[in-house]
Chains A and B, each alone.
Chain A
Amino acid sequence: MAQMMYRDAVLTTIAEEMERDSSVVVLGEDVVGGMGTPGGPEAIGGIWSTSTGLFDKFGKDRVIDTPISESAIIGAAAGLALAGKRPIAELMFADFIGVSLDQIWNQTAKFRYMFGGKTKCPVVIRMAYGAGYNAAAQHSQSVHQILTGMPGLKVVMPSTPADVKGLLRQAIRDDDPVIFLEHKALYGMSGEVPEGADQIIPFGHARLARAGEDVTIISSGLLLGFCEAVADKLAAEGIGCDVIDLRTTSPLDEEAIIDSVEVTGRVVVVDEAPPRCGLAADICALIAARAFASLKAPPQAVTPPHTPIPFARELESAYLPSVDKIEAAVRHVLGWR
């Protein structure tokens, strides 16, 4: 075990996989940083420090600093993959999927199926997502809701440095396109990370972050930690919570959800994306369909409202799910009749 930050788990996993497999290629805006400037390549090294040093180590053919052209970045990643490489494309902010959506949705996601299984499409699209920095409506969004709804994509949302390692390694080795969502507020999170190049977490396997028999709390990414805090608080009152970290929203570990709800009968789903047609609604529907008889209370969702993300501190905190809002929802289902 090594102590490591979330962002370093991203960087070291990419470096290890590039070392192991010469077909792995990185591309994105400022992933080298300083190209064409007096300071020279690596003057900055990626705005999230998740690609620092890769250029010096692997060279310009495999670490490609791109112009501001998100559509072409994703399209080129798709082309690299069809031609036999394993590209890791970085979108600086998840919000920029808007610029590149055709290449993600109509191209990358569909090749394997549309071409009758004649190709793989091993593209990883990494992106920094999430609110909490007052970065307003175009730099704060959680986009898994949109991307999880697209057949052909796998969608990963790690909540710890250890999960970054295992899940990113799987993403890079996976033969399907994988969306890899890194929460901005987690980059500085430190945690134990198992060592060894074969430390892989397969997709579609949720993690039980806390175990209890009274209520199930389901989440992923940054908010998972909020759910753990609520569980720890309630544990002191003798209330036991199962906290399920989905890890991947596609594929979804339906069994882990159903197994837990069958025991607890009470469930709260917590998500940072907007509520309509979203992850929380999807999971509540799954539970209604498959665990109806076990339910002791209506499933509750804690999400932001159906609005764009506001700028001001007061507004953003009113918008976002919080520990208090999650706790209130959990108490609500616990108190149901």
Chain B
Amino acid sequence: MQLSREALQRAYRQMKVIREFEERLHTEIQTGEIAGFTHLYCGQEAVAVGVCEHLDIDDKIVSTHRGHGHCLAKGCELNGMMAEIWGSREGLCKGKGGSMHIADIDKGMLGANGIVGAGAPIAVGAALSAKIDNKGKVAIAFSGDGACNQGTTFEAMNFAVVTQAPCIFVFENNHYSEHTGVDYAVGTARDIASRAEAFGMKVWRADGTDFFAVHDTMREVLDFVRGGGGPAAVEFDTERFFGHFEGDPQRYRAKGEIERIRESRDCLKNFRISVTGAKLLTDADLDQIDQDVLDSIEAAVVAARAADRPTPEDVLSDVYIAY
């Protein structure tokens, strides 16, 4: 289905926001100003955006440790996220969660997660709630190729099948879990979808670096699940452009691998080539978006730096009692 000019611009903008958010963090982290562990989503933007462009605020998603892209795509506010990563009191989680725990429940974003594999069962619960409410809403569990090896993920898939929960398991296969290759760690290497299929789910597979492939696939998946077809799974083949975490020496990569994937598997570059080639948008249209995005990221960083810091008393709030 042909997307409108507005829809194309929006999708590009969303992907670009994620890209520049992460590129900027990559730079900022070098200075030591940002605390904690940060896992960047660069390279995988087409998945988050291709999935979330189909969702509305009442659909839920559950994310991972590599959560910034999912959060932004689901509508978490840019400044609130930046402030959270800066550990500010004005952050989405008041500086208590940080990069690995960004959540915005009102936006249907049920949390990034520091525990690999913890998300899938939570998504099943959200899907069961949607089933009770019976308004055609769904829940999405984002998982990596590493997370697909956790028992929790297996349990969640079977649970969703037997309860016919409207849950979609989105596996982002970026070929690595930390420093380990998918060929070693996943018995059905490069075919995570077949596992989901074995649990009794309908499955799809697509190129996760191609926005249009993701978006078209997700339309089918969502029609199926919203239509009461039960849970489903999708495996997207994708790439992570940075290290597992910031500071990762990445000695497990092939020589020239990063240059190669940045050259040929960049969802933003490929999007630009397709839409300008098909004369749907011009380079000038896209350049304008690029500039707007860079300005908004700059503004978010400036705001995060200036934002209120938490105070020691804040440690004791948001918990039922403090001893």
- Complex contact A68–B114 (CB within 8 A): no
Known: A36-B183, A310-B315. A133 touches B36 (CB 8 A): yes
- Complex contact A39–B314 (CB within 8 A): no
Known: A135-B37, A139-B114. A67 touches B146 (CB 8 A): yes
Known: A37-B252, A275-B323, A311-B35. A305 touches B315 (CB 8 A): yes
- Complex contact A134–B87 (CB within 8 A): yes
CA–CA, A99 and B93, complex, Å: 25
* B311 contacts the other chain (CB 8 A): yes
- Complex contact A68–B101 (CB within 8 A): no
Known: A39-B253, A307-B316, A307-B322. A30 touches B115 (CB 8 A): no
* B228 contacts the other chain (CB 8 A): no
CB-defined A-B contacts under 8 Å, sample of 5:
A34-B252, A67-B180, A135-B100, A310-B314, A312-B95
For residues 126 through 146 of chain A, which have their beta carbon under 8 Å from a beta carbon of chain B?
Answer: 133-139
CA–CA, A43 and B315, complex, Å: 40
For B101, the chain A residues whose CB sits under 8 A away are 136-138, 311
For B321, the chain A residues whose CB sits under 8 A away are 306
A contact patch SS: loop
For B227, the chain A residues whose CB sits under 8 A away are none
Stretch at the interface among B53-61, B171-179, B203-211: B171-179
- Complex contact A314–B184 (CB within 8 A): no
* B255 to A, closest residue via Cβ: A38
Known: A139-B100, A312-B88. A68 touches B177 (CB 8 A): yes
For A315, the chain B residues whose CB sits under 8 A away are 87, 95-96, 310, 312, 314-315
A-contact 0/1 string along B182-199, CB 8 Å cutoff? 111110010000000000
* B178 to A, closest residue via Cβ: A30
For B185, the chain A residues whose CB sits under 8 A away are 35-36, 67-68
B-contact 0/1 string along A28-44, CB 8 Å cutoff? 01100111111110011
For A308, the chain B residues whose CB sits under 8 A away are 319
For B322, the chain A residues whose CB sits under 8 A away are 305-307
For B255, the chain A residues whose CB sits under 8 A away are 38
For B3, the chain A residues whose CB sits under 8 A away are none
Known: A68-B149, A99-B152, A136-B101. A35 touches B319 (CB 8 A): no
* B229 contacts the other chain (CB 8 A): no
- Complex contact A47–B87 (CB within 8 A): no
For B316, the chain A residues whose CB sits under 8 A away are 305, 307
A-contact 0/1 string along B263-295, CB 8 Å cutoff? 000000000000000000000000000000000
For A197, the chain B residues whose CB sits under 8 A away are none
For A95, the chain B residues whose CB sits under 8 A away are 114-115
- Complex contact B98–A311 (CB within 8 A): yes
CA–CA, A318 and B323, complex, Å: 14
Q: How far is the CB of A196 from chain B (nearest CB, A)?
A: 34
CA–CA, A40 and B100, complex, Å: 29
CA–CA, A67 and B151, complex, Å: 11
Tell me which of A29, A70, A276, A310 contacts B178 (CB under 8 A). Answer: A29
For B312, the chain A residues whose CB sits under 8 A away are 314-315, 318
Tell me which of B37, B114, B146, B180 contacts A137 (CB under 8 A). Answer: B114
- Complex contact A134–B35 (CB within 8 A): yes
For residues 46 through 98 of chain A, which have their beta carbon under 8 Å from a beta carbon of chain B?
Answer: 47, 65, 67-72, 95-96, 98
* B181 contacts the other chain (CB 8 A): yes
Interface size bracket, B side: 35 or more
* A292 contacts the other chain (CB 8 A): no
CA–CA, A307 and B254, complex, Å: 44
CA–CA, A44 and B243, complex, Å: 12
Q: How far is the CB of A168 from chain B (nearest CB, A)?
A: 24
For B182, the chain A residues whose CB sits under 8 A away are 36
- Complex contact A134–B319 (CB within 8 A): no
- Complex contact B319–A307 (CB within 8 A): yes
For residues 133 through 156 of chain B, which have their beta carbon under 8 Å from a beta carbon of chain A?
Answer: 146-147, 149-152
- Complex contact B114–A312 (CB within 8 A): no
CA–CA, A306 and B255, complex, Å: 49
- Complex contact A138–B114 (CB within 8 A): yes
- Complex contact A47–B35 (CB within 8 A): no
- Complex contact B252–A39 (CB within 8 A): yes
* B116 contacts the other chain (CB 8 A): yes
Q: How far is the CB of B195 from chain A (nearest CB, A)?
A: 12
For A71, the chain B residues whose CB sits under 8 A away are 151
For A312, the chain B residues whose CB sits under 8 A away are 35, 87-89, 95-96, 98, 309-310
A-contact 0/1 string along B34-58, CB 8 Å cutoff? 0111000000000000000000000
* A105 contacts the other chain (CB 8 A): no
- Complex contact B151–A69 (CB within 8 A): yes
For B184, the chain A residues whose CB sits under 8 A away are 35-37, 65
Known: A305-B323, A306-B321, A314-B310. A68 touches B147 (CB 8 A): yes
B-contact 0/1 string along A79-123, CB 8 Å cutoff? 000000000000000011011000000000000000000000000
* A42 to B, closest residue via Cβ: B251
Task: Give 20 A-B pairs besides A99-B152, A139-B114 with Cβ atoms closer than 8 angstroms.
Answer: A35-B184, A37-B179, A37-B180, A39-B251, A47-B178, A68-B116, A99-B118, A133-B35, A136-B98, A136-B114, A137-B101, A138-B113, A139-B37, A306-B319, A307-B315, A310-B96, A314-B310, A315-B310, A315-B314, A318-B312
